[in-house]
Structure 1
Amino acid sequence: MYNVLIVEDQTMPRKLLEIYVNEEKDFNLVASISNASLALDICKRSKIDLILMDVLTELGNNGLDEALLIKKYDSNIKIIIVTSMPEASWLKKAKENKIDSFWYKDGDSNSIIDVMKRTMNGESIFPLDTPTIQFGNASNHDFSERELDILRELITGDSNIEIGKRLGLSANTVKWYIQGLLDKTGFHTRTELAAVARSLGIAIKWVCFHKDATQLGGVF
C-alpha cells in the first residue's frame, strides 16, 4: 500500500481527491493539506510514497518549487502535479524539476487513479499540451512564447518601460506586442486583457519568496 499526501488549497477539489484515494485499496491517505510549504515537513515526519501537488496553494506557496525541494530531499517520493490552469510554463517547469507526472483536473476519478497507479509503476505521465481555453476571439494556443511573456508581465500592472527592461525589449516593442494581443483577442484595454488572462489561468507570474530560496518571481 502506498502512502499519499494531498496538497490542494481549494476545499472541493481536495475533498474529491481524498475520496478518490480513500476508495482505492492500493493507497493510504496520510494527510491532506492546503499549503505546499508544509509538505516537506510532513515528508520528513511520515513515510510518503506519492504526493498529489497543486501549483497555486494557500498563502501563495508554489507547489512546483516545493516539489523541487521534496525531490532534493528524497528523489524516491513520487509527485504528480494537479492543476486546472493552462499556464503553459508549468508543464515545462514540472519536467525541469523532475516531477514524475502531471494531471489536469477534470473531475474524473478513473483518470487520476490511473495516473497514480502508472506513476507508482515507474511511468511518467504528461499531457501533450495544455487544455484549450477560449480567450476572447482567440485561444491560449494562438500565442507565441513572447506574447505569453508579455501577458505574464501585464499582470504586474507595470509600465511598458518596466516590462521592457525585464524582457530586454524597448517600450515601443512592448506596446506593439500589447496591441497585437488586443487585436487577436478583441479586448479593448490592457487591463481587460491582463485580468481575463489571469482569471482563466492562461498567464500567471509569481512574486513570492520561499524560506529556503531566493525570489521565485511573479504576481498572482
Structure 2
Amino acid sequence: MIKILIVEDQVIMRDSLANLINGQEDMQVVGSIGSAGDALEICRVKTPDLVLMDVRTDNNENGIAAAAKIRAQYPSIRIVIMTGMPEITYMDSARRAGVDSFLYKNINSETMLATIRSTMDGYRTFPREAPSVLPGHLSFTDTEIAILRLVCEAKSRKEIARELTMSEGSVKAVITDILNKTGYDSIIKFAVFAVSKGYIMPNA
C-alpha cells in the first residue's frame, strides 16, 4: 500500500485527488493539507511513502522549497511536484530540490496514477522542458532567464556577470534585449511582474 500525503491549497482539487487515490487498491491518503509549510511536520507524524505537492500553496508557501527540506530530512520519501501554472523555471528548481517527478495538472487521472506508481518504483518523470514563453508569445533564451532569476535575487550587474561568467557589457546588452522585447523601462519592474505571475522562480 502506497501511503500518500497531498499538499494542495485548492480544496476542490485536494478532495478530488484524495477521492481518486483512495479509490485505488494499492494507495491510501494518510494526510491532506493546504500549506507546504506544514508538509515537513506531517511527514514526521504520518510517515508517507510519497508526497504529492503543488508548487504554490496556502500563505504563498513554496512547494519546491518544502520538497528540498523533506528530501534533506526524509530521503526515502518520494516527492511528486505538480503545477497548473505556465512556469518557466519550476522544473529546474524541482530537480535541484531533489524532486522525483514533476507533473502538470492538465494530465488525466490515469497518467497521474501511473506517475505515482512509477515514482514509487524508482523512476523519475519530468515532462519535456516547457518553452520559455511569457504572455504575448515572447520567447526568452536560457541566458535571459538566468539573468532574470539573479535580478530577482537583487544581484548587481557586476555580481550577475561574475556568476554567469560574462562581461558586465554582455549582461547589460542582454538586459537591454529583454526590455526591448517586453516594453518595460526597468528590468526590476519586469522581474517583479514575472515572479508575481509565477513565470520565474528565483533560485531557493
Q: TM-score scaled by structure 2? A: 0.79
From 141, 148, 151, give the equivalent of 1:151.
148
Q: TM-score scaled by structure 1? A: 0.74
1:42-99 Cα deviation digits (max 9, x unpaired): 1111231111012222233322222122222222211101112344433223223332
With a CA cutoff of 8 Å and minimum separation of 6, indicate the structure with the bigger relative contact order.
2
Question: Do structure 1's residue 181 and structure 2's residue 178 form an aligned pair?
Answer: yes
Question: Do structure 1's residue 34 and structure 2's residue 34 form an aligned pair?
Answer: yes
SS state at 1:168 partner: helix
Q: Match for residue 80 of structure 1? A: 80
Q: Match for residue 45 of structure 1? A: 45
Unaligned runs of 5+ in 1: 207-215
CA distance in 2, matches of 1:188, 1:98: 35
Q: Match for residue 8 of structure 1? A: 8
What is the number of equivalent residue pairs in this alignment?
199
CA distance in 2, matches of 1:59, 1:96: 23
CA distance in 2, matches of 1:200, 1:60: 12
Decide whether the 8 Å contact of 2:161 with 2:171 is kept in 1.
no
CA distance in 1, matches of 2:170, 2:114: 46
Question: Could you tell me which amino acid in structure 2 is paired with residue 125 of structure 1?
Answer: T
Decide whether the 8 Å contact of 1:135 with 1:197 is kept in 2.
no
Tell me by how many angstroms 1:166 deviates: 4.2
**Is 168-177 or 42-51 further displaced after alignment?**
168-177
CA distance in 2, matches of 1:130, 1:37: 27
Decide whether the 8 Å contact of 2:3 with 2:48 is kept in 1.
yes
Tell me by how many angstroms 1:38 deviates: 1.1
SS state at 1:5 partner: strand
Question: Do structure 1's residue 167 and structure 2's residue 160 form an aligned pair?
Answer: yes
1:83-123 Cα deviation digits (max 9, x unpaired): 12344433223223332111111152222111111112221
CA distance in 2, matches of 1:90, 1:171: 27
Question: Could you tell me which amino acid in structure 1 is paired with residue 147 of structure 2?
Answer: I
> Does the C-alpha gap of structure 1 residues 50 and 108 become closer, same or farther in structure 2, counting only changes over 3 Å?
same
Q: Match for residue 205 of structure 1? A: 202
Question: Could you tell me which amino acid in structure 2 is paired with residue 89 of structure 1?
Answer: T
Q: Match for residue 127 of structure 2? A: 127
Decide whether the 8 Å contact of 2:152 with 2:202 is kept in 1.
yes
**Is 111-120 or 18-27 further displaced after alignment?**
18-27
